[in-house]
């Protein structure tokens, strides 16, 4: 009989793509970096906005963890490939790849142009393939690896406001993880997605301000809280704890799974009454 798996990530190299925050505070990518570093991983915090990634690294350092900053443009295949190659060259390995990119355009779908759709798809989906294919050879050589994708409740149900391109590409991202997991299982490379529910992050005040009609931000947050069976949105830490678990040996037999972290939202059948 085997004993319990190790909980820690000491000595493992984790690349988090989408590690900054669009506004002051703790977004999902930032929380993931902090959680992985807390468990001992050497974190490479990559983001298009280098200042945001640097702020994440500073927070990791404050808690005594190890982190490095990297700049990446997920809409540029060469940029993504170069990022992964640089991590492998400098560290000799890559143990964890977490893709936390989430680009969208809320509002009625007739306001989303074909160019918008391609850009959102390239960010949320194509970049996953490019990053994974760049990392897989090294993971195969070292005999293990973890790839995790941040997906969304919008991938499996209507989130309460129009978000078609985002939801469609996140649904594809979840299936990407499932299909790739089966392909890579013989190589001891695990691939999973996290289906994040309505999460209270700095981003929602910036990107969703006009998605709830004429409500102000306080009313919008109240509506989102009321939509959740637990009576509140989740926090970035709820997603980060799931990410740290899936990256660890505690999840050593979990692959091809979409882990739903949504406070029960996906179990509901309708939106609540107007707030």
> What positions carry a catalytic annotation?
166
Token pair 């989906």 is found at: 125
Please give the Cα distance from 124 to 201 (Å, whole number).
Answer: 19
Give the helix ranges, DSSP H, for 122-272: 127-142, 164-184, 204-207, 217-227, 236-247
Helix axes 28-38, 236-247, angle to 10 degrees: 40
As a whole number of angstroms, the distance between CA 113 and CA 109 comes to 8
Which of 74, 249, 268 lies closest to 173 in space, CA to CA?
Answer: 74
Strand, coil or helix: what is 244? helix
Strands, E assignment, the chain = 13-17, 42-47, 66-71, 96-99, 145-152, 189-196, 199-200, 234-235, 258-261
Q: How far is 183 from 177, CA to CA, in rounded Å?
A: 10
What gap in Å lies between CA 30 and CA 27, rounded to an integer? 5
Give the tokens for residue 42.
Answer: 């050497």
């Amino acid at each position: 009989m085997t004993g319990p798996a190790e909980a820690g990530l000491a000595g493992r190299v984790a690349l988090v793509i989408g590690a900054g925050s669009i506004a002051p505070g703790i977004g999902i990518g930032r929380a993931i970096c902090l959680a992985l570093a807390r468990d001992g991983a050497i974190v490479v915090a990559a983001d298009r906005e280098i200042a945001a990634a640097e702020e994440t690294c500073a927070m990791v350092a404050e808690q005594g963890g190890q982190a490095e900053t990297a700049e990446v443009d997920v809409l540029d295949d060469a940029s993504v490939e170069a990022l992964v190659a640089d991590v492998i060259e400098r560290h000799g390995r890559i143990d964890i790849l977490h893709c936390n990119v989430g680009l969208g355009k809320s509002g009625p779908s007739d306001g989303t142009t074909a160019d918008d759709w391609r850009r959102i798809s390239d960010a949320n989906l194509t970049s996953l393939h490019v990053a994974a294919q760049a990392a897989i050879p090294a993971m195969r050589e070292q005999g293990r690896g973890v790839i995790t994708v941040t997906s969304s409740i919008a991938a499996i149900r209507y989130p309460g406001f129009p978000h078609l391109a985002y939801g469609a590409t996140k649904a594809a991202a979840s299936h990407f993880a499932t299909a790739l997991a089966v392909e890579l299982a013989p190589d001891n490379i695990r691939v999973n997605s996290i289906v994040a529910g309505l999460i209270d992050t700095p981003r929602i005040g910036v990107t969703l301000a006009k998605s709830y009609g004429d409500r102000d931000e306080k009313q919008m947050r109240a509506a989102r809280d009321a939509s959740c069976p637990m009576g509140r949105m989740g926090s970035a830490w709820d997603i980060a704890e799931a990410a740290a678990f899936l990256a660890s040996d505690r999840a050593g037999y979990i692959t091809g799974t979409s882990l739903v972290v949504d406070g029960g939202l996906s179990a509901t059948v309708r939106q609540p009454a107007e707030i």
